[in-house]
A = this chain, B = another copy of it.
């Protein structure tokens, strides 16, 4: 072990990417979490501080996602006697559909693995991050955790057994807009019908197949034509004010595609160039403000490497 302390960045993620409900996600360079981790002499995992969460996250190491992830890795490696001190800086809103708990989980497992000299590969780390996510959300879904850990676009080919495929990373900008409205994940889940028309499912799998093909071919026009969701978006978008209007404005101004991030209320759109993305983001923010809705906006490249060590 060369280092005794480390500071890492872990990215926010867009899950349920349009036609890829439950199977497709990608990471962005902004926003994200920062985690400082320090090995110390006193055994046990301790959370020294959490900033940027408005006091919402638990400091109890067994209940907090980051520390729970770290503890389960230490247990796995037979190093439960190690002392670890954590300082988490949330640089993204919680419960916004940006994979906040996944970013924290990934920050924790990535940092401890780095400090211990990388005993585990990213594929081996994945289940520990899912465990942490389960603690926060009640179910260990991989569709935020996997892109946060691997970066780029990730496909969850199957859950049983868990199989994650890293897809080629498009050279695109992602615009995120988080409107300050409440859409609890539970409501967003419950609104979805448990049965779908076969003909809609056929349209959907034609689009997901087209989208995967577009990523391999770096064909961004095809990517745009494939970013259509006939099953989940039509019902979930009802929970997001001005969704249709925002989508129309974005697509008319250079967006390749527009959709709900995770279970919302954040919406995302993809662009070939930064100027278009910036223009649309500012326009949508002003548009919502006129309707009396505040929002946060973020603009960055699609992330290509997952978490990184900071300086």
Contact = CB atoms under 8 A, between A and B. Distances in A.
Contacts of A23: 202, 205-206, 209
B19 A206 contact: no
A224 to B, nearest CB: 12
A208 interface: yes
A210 B165 contact: yes
Nearest to A21: B202
Given A157-B207, A157-B209, A158-B210, A202 B22 contact: yes
A196 interface: yes
A193 interface: yes
Contacts of A216: 212-213, 216
Tally of this chain's copies: 2
Interface string A9-34: 00000000001111110000000000
A226 interface: yes
A19 to B, nearest CB: 7
Interface string A268-295: 0000000000000000000000000000
A155 interface: yes
Interface string A206-243: 11111111001000001001100001000000000000
Contacts of A167: 213
A205 B157 contact: no
A194 interface: yes
Contacts of A163: 210, 225
Contacts of A155: 206, 209-210, 213
Interface residues of A, number: 40
A117 B168 CA distance: 40
A208 B207 contact: no
A64 interface: no
Interface in A141-157: 155-157
Contacts of A226: 157
A48 interface: no
A191 interface: no
16 contacts: A19-B205, A22-B202, A155-B206, A155-B209, A155-B210, A156-B206, A158-B210, A165-B209, A167-B213, A194-B197, A195-B197, A196-B197, A201-B231, A204-B205, A209-B211, A212-B212
A19 B205 CA distance: 9
Given A165-B213, A210-B158, A225-B163, A201 B203 contact: no
A195 B213 CA distance: 27
A22 B155 CA distance: 22
Given A157-B210, A210-B157, A204 B201 contact: yes
A152 to B, nearest CB: 13
B165 A205 contact: no
Contacts of A207: 157-158
